[in-house]
Chain A
Amino acid sequence: MELKGRIISKGVAEGEALTTSQPISFYGGVDPDTGVIIEKGHELKGKKVKDKILVFPNGKGSTVGSYTLYRMKKNDTAPAGIINKECETVVAVGAIISEIPCIDKIDISKIETGDIVRLENDAVRIEKGRIPR
């Protein structure tokens, strides 16, 4: 399956999808040293985002979150790519300065955790659940 979206941060990325229907706050919500989601009550709490295609509706929280993404990239704990429903400032700026490919305006309900996803320019290619869950 292929979906078309809007390019926020250019590039090519491929990996296993990690999907949530909840917004993510990078500042305070993700540990930049380990890449683990630590926000209390988040459905991805305890999950590692490193090398994943992270799929979530939108970012939230402090604008310092852009620097958190940059720090994750430098620490090699960052997601390989980001797919949003509606991208906002924190994630957009974070993805651009960290050079993490990012696309939005995607129907994220079509992507499940474990799908193999490839981002290339404005296109998202999805191979359903090759990884057993």
Chain B
Amino acid sequence: MIFMYLTKEEERMLDGEEGYAVKKSMEILVALGDIYGAEKLISVGSVQVAGVSYHNLGDAGLEFLNELARDGKVKVLTTLNPAGMDLKDWKKLGISKEFAEKQNLVIDAFRKMGIIISCTCTPYLIGSLPTYGEHIAWSESSAVTFANSVIGAKTNREGGPSALAAAFVGKTPSYGLHLEENRVPDVHVDVRVNLKKLSDWGALGYCIGKKVENKIPYITGVKDADLDELKSFCASVVTYGSKPLFFMKEITPGSEKHQLPKEKVIIEDRDIKDAYENIDDDVDTIDFVCIGCPHCSIKEIAEVAKLLKNKRVSSNTEFWVATSRLMKQLADKRGYTEIIEKAGGKFACDTCMAVAPLKGRFRSVATTSAKGCYYSRHNNMKTRLGSLEECIEAAVRGKWS
């Protein structure tokens, strides 16, 4: 029995009139809608699909994508999360031929579906920019948090298959963060610290994520924030435990509509210090440095180029700038690529430190990203979180200081 209201057209899709992919998609959407008590399906403006790295999908995931690709075509603007490798220069990043072949088959299936092979966790930087209040169905947790909290669009955190289902139908069940009644802050976070460098935003995300686990924070005390800082904060706060929505006073559109929640948490300097202590390992030799989790903006790439100019990355250290293909093309034109590559750095387009098959390749990583540290520990690396300057210095010296 179906509890959710379906239009005649939606019923026909569920009956298989538009083929296998749409039928399977409708089954997924209806089941999720019923589980979470949705009244109906709503149209989405865009979709962002995670579950792209062959490392996570395996052969079964690939097989499922191939089955959907036989007759599935997306109905709305749909972009992809990072893959397990740079789709062009995978050899340079030390990816095996066997992995590359499988990863390419995954990409072929997505391409057949009409999805833009953007392979980025920052769709909002490459042309999929939602508007305030728009319903979307995105997967990548940092992008979901950014869309909800910085832009004021509305999305749940979709899994790979449920995002694909939304793309084939052009709709998603109306529940969770699509409904205004569920977008209400339930804890006041009073930030009483001065954020000095980019990694401090990741550390702040760690503190808040841990303290407000599974709640929606209303954050006060943050004076101003630029795009890169918010991007880093979004990635960290959701990785370390909060819901993929926060309200930041005078930054989140619509935050003025909400009252301060009664429950209150204070973040002080010692919390930030504790965050660094928890994220950092006691390690000095650094054999991997990665900037770009989430993917670098063109401004961040410019900063990397400025700091690396006329320097040389240590021969014992691998240095990656993870970004989207589009940002790299911009960097090529502006001369940043040449500077970074001349210094011995590498661009890692289409992929990132969280989804590339890195287990066992490096012993330690230095990065500006608190989220990157979380995933690197899963890959058995020791971690160091620091400013861009500190990370570039670690890359040049092969040591953390």
Contact = CB atoms under 8 A, between A and B. Distances in A.
A92 to B, nearest CB: 5
Contact of B58 (A8, A71, A90, A92): A71
Interface stretch (B31-39, B111-119, B271-279, B359-367): B31-39
A41 B57 CA distance: 26
Interface stretch (A14-22, A62-70, A110-118): A62-70
Contact of B35 (A66, A92, A122): A92
B51 A96 contact: no
Given A89-B162, A93-B161, A71 B27 contact: no
Nearest to A72: B60
Contacts of B162: 63, 89, 93
For this complex, into which size category does the number of interface residues on chain A fall? 20 to 34
The SS class assigned to the A binding surface is helix
B160 interface: yes
A104 B35 CA distance: 9
Contacts of B158: 63
A96 B27 contact: yes
A70 B35 contact: no
Interface in A81-98: 87-90, 92-93, 96-97
B64 A92 contact: no
Contacts of B61: 64, 67, 70-71
Contacts of B64: 67, 70, 97
A13 to B, nearest CB: 17
Given A67-B161, A90-B159, 10 more contacts: A63-B139, A66-B159, A67-B56, A70-B60, A71-B59, A89-B35, A92-B28, A93-B28, A96-B28, A96-B31
Instruction: State the 10 A-B residue pairs at the shortest beta-carbon distance, nearest first.
Output: A71-B60, A63-B159, A67-B61, A93-B161, A92-B31, A70-B60, A96-B27, A64-B56, A70-B64, A74-B60
